[in-house]
Structures are given as structure tokens and as C-alpha cells.
Structure 1
């Protein structure tokens, strides 16, 4: 059996904190953010593993104060505590006003998270599945 792996999407991420964070303003230095506790998304996805590896290279000394499998849980935790974390820009744009998040501009760029579709090639024999894959790949 053959597994197909194809690039699906990429998400730009930004650093965020609560609107009322006591120490961080609209911008922060690396030294300032390394004094804070970070959130981390727990995932076995290949794109997330690559992303965590890149973040370890840039901010290897950071303190992980909270981990979750849910972006919404991470966002709510950031909103209601002094934790900071990286969230997809699209997620921030949609939820920031309702859960009171603030973007923190930092002096380095963050690599986007890459997402991949993986499926068994034999599954394409199912016309419904083949149509779904075609629809997804055309949209992105």
C-alpha cells in the first residue's frame, strides 16, 4: 500500500498575550519574552514537529508553562493568565476581540506551520473520497 503525502496549507503565526498583560506591550525583545512562560500546542502532526524544532532553535531557553491539544484552550489560557504563545494569524484575527488577545511584535520572523494531507492511494478508488481530496487541493 502506498501513502500519498502532499502539502495542504501553511499558517502564519504571531506572538500573543492577554490585552492586560502586566509586562508586555505591543513590542518585546527576545530577552523580555524569555522571562515569560509560553504555551505549546501538543500534536504529533509532522508540520507541528517541524515547527517545534524551529521554535527550539530560535527560543530554546523558553519556559513552557502550559501545553494543550486545543488551540482554543491555549488562546483562553493566554487571555486569562500571564502566559504568552504563538497562534495562527487567522485564529487571532477571528477571536482576538472576543477573548481579549493582543499581538506582540518581536524582532524576528516566525516560520509558518506547514500542513500536509496523508492518505492511502487506494482510497482514491472511492469516488466520494477522490472528490473530497480534489476539492481540498483546489481550495488551497
Structure 2
């Protein structure tokens, strides 16, 4: 770590513009041509090369007839720095063939529902070149907000919007919440009433989120005091537990359809309206200043809204 700090301090004292001048002179083998390309005067280019020589025990360029030629040391120096300089140029040039990282944060169940469609579409398009990385959503909503503000994430999928003037949050889709249990449950099947299931055991989600707390309160009002036998922050884990027990739980309708055969669960037709499950896509408004990122954000939005037209209410 200390070596890295020392390197940064040394680099700070070095004028990186000198390397740009060096590369121009090296490529054109002419001070005057390098000056024209860089928008500098020939004396200014010569002065930059003189300054650069102070850092190295070599003249770098020597006169060769009417022009100049690079020394062996300059050849080696060019080979060492050209890759790094080209990488920096690519960043600012915004080339269409450059690969862009797209970082998405979400809870695991949303990742399984949404990200496969995103990956399938983006990776199948020859015009779109990006590398997709997924990270789990932290529990703290402030940390979620800061992830976008401080560029740790490009897109966040969540069940709540982010209220910040620097962040855009859009409703991607809304769907029903359904009640589920194991297909082998010994007592309940099909249509159920509040009174017929109030004595069953339940799973619950432990995430401390406003929407989840509101839903938990709603179920308490509908069913009264319940016996909770399993609690987890993961909806997928809850479905796995429901399959192996007689517990009753709740999940979004699309999640039930995706996992009903995998986890051997069935849907219960509840007489009460369990409400809706909303999914929001949030991203920094600074994306509008980054054409490559804005194109990706718009494409992701288009894919998800199209894929979820059937559940959009």
C-alpha cells in the first residue's frame, strides 16, 4: 500500500502531457508535424521534449538527416506506454466498439426475474458491447442511494423508488401478490377464506423496508395474529422452505409462475386482496451526460417493459 502511495506522489509531480507530446513526435518523427497535430508551436514541442529528457538518461530523439529518429530507449519507452495511452484515449473517444461495464444492483429474486432478459437482449445484439456485473442490494436505503450518487452502480432494481433530485426512478411493472403453499399441504388447497387459514404457520420476510413493513401490517389486519415459523430476508429461501413444510407464504405472481414447478408449490385463491408488488428502476440523472450509459439504460428499460407487458397494470 505504501509503495502505491509513493508511486502516486511521484506521478503527481510528473506532467502527463509530456507523454502525449512524446507519442506525437515518435509517431510522426517530426517536431513540426507533432506541433500541427497537437495545436502547439514547434518551440513548445521542443521544450516539452527537453523537459521529458530531465526524467530519463537518454536524449530520446536524435537528428537523422532532415528529420529525427527515435533512440533505442525511446522505442522501449513507446512500447511501455502506448497501451496505457490508448486506453485513456478510448475512454474519452467514446468509441462504439469499446466495451462498457454495466453494474446492476438488486435483491436476488429480482435478479433472477429481470437480469436474464437484460443479458439475453444486450448480449445478442452486435451493436451493443457491454459487460454486465450484478451486486446484491444492501439493507441500508442510504447506501442504496449513495451507490448511484457515487457511481458504484449504474442501475438499481428495487421495490421502492429513490426520492432524490439527482436520481431518476421509474416504475417498470406492477403485479399481484399471491399466497402459496406446498402442493402436498395436507389441509388447504384452491380457494381459501381468512378464517380457514388463520391458524396455519407462515413464513415472513425480514427486510426492513417500508413496502415490506406495510404489507406485513396489511396481512396482520386481514388474518389477525399469525404464527410465524420461518423468517428470512430471501424470498427464494422462503419458497424452498414452503416446499418442504406446511407453511404458507406470499410472493409476486411472476415469481410463483417461474418457480412453482422447481419448488413444488401451489397458489391459493385468497378472498382478500393482497395488493400489488411494484418494481422500480433507478439510475443517476448524470447518465444523460454519458451517451453510452444512457443508451444502455434506455435499452434495459425497453426490454423490461416489453417483457413485462402482461403483468403491467
- Under a length normalisation based on structure 1, what TM-score does the superposition of the two structures give? 0.82
Q: Distance in 2 between matches of 1:50 and 1:27?
A: 24
Rate the CA distance shift 1:98–1:5 in 2: closer, same or farther, 3 A: closer
Rate the CA distance shift 1:123–1:49 in 2: closer, same or farther, 3 A: farther
Larger radius of gyration: 2
1:70-128 CA deviation, whole Å, 9 max, x = no partner? 22211110000111111222222222223211111111222111122223212332333
Contact 1:54–1:111 (Cα < 8 Å) also in 2: no
Q: Distance in 2 between matches of 1:68 and 1:128?
A: 38
CA RMSD of aligned residues (A): 2.3
- Under a length normalisation based on structure 2, what TM-score does the superposition of the two structures give? 0.40
| Larger RCO (CA under 8 A, 6+ residues apart) | 1
**When the two structures are aligned, how many residues end up with a matched partner?**
140
Per-residue deviation at 1:134? 1.0
Q: Distance in 2 between matches of 1:130 and 1:50?
A: 34
**Aligned twin of 1:102:** 266
Per-residue deviation at 1:129? 2.7
Structure 1 unaligned residues grouped into runs of 5+: none
**Secondary structure of 2:262's partner?**
helix
Structure 2 unaligned residues grouped into runs of 5+: 1-164, 306-313
- Range with bigger deviation, 126-135 or 76-85: 126-135
Contact 1:47–1:116 (Cα < 8 Å) also in 2: no
Structure 2 counterparts to residues 19-98 of structure 1, below 5 A: 19-44=183-208, 47-98=211-262
In terms of fraction of residues, the more strand-rich structure is 1
Q: Distance in 2 between matches of 1:8 and 1:116?
A: 5
In terms of fraction of residues, the more helix-rich structure is 2
**Secondary structure of 1:39's partner?**
strand
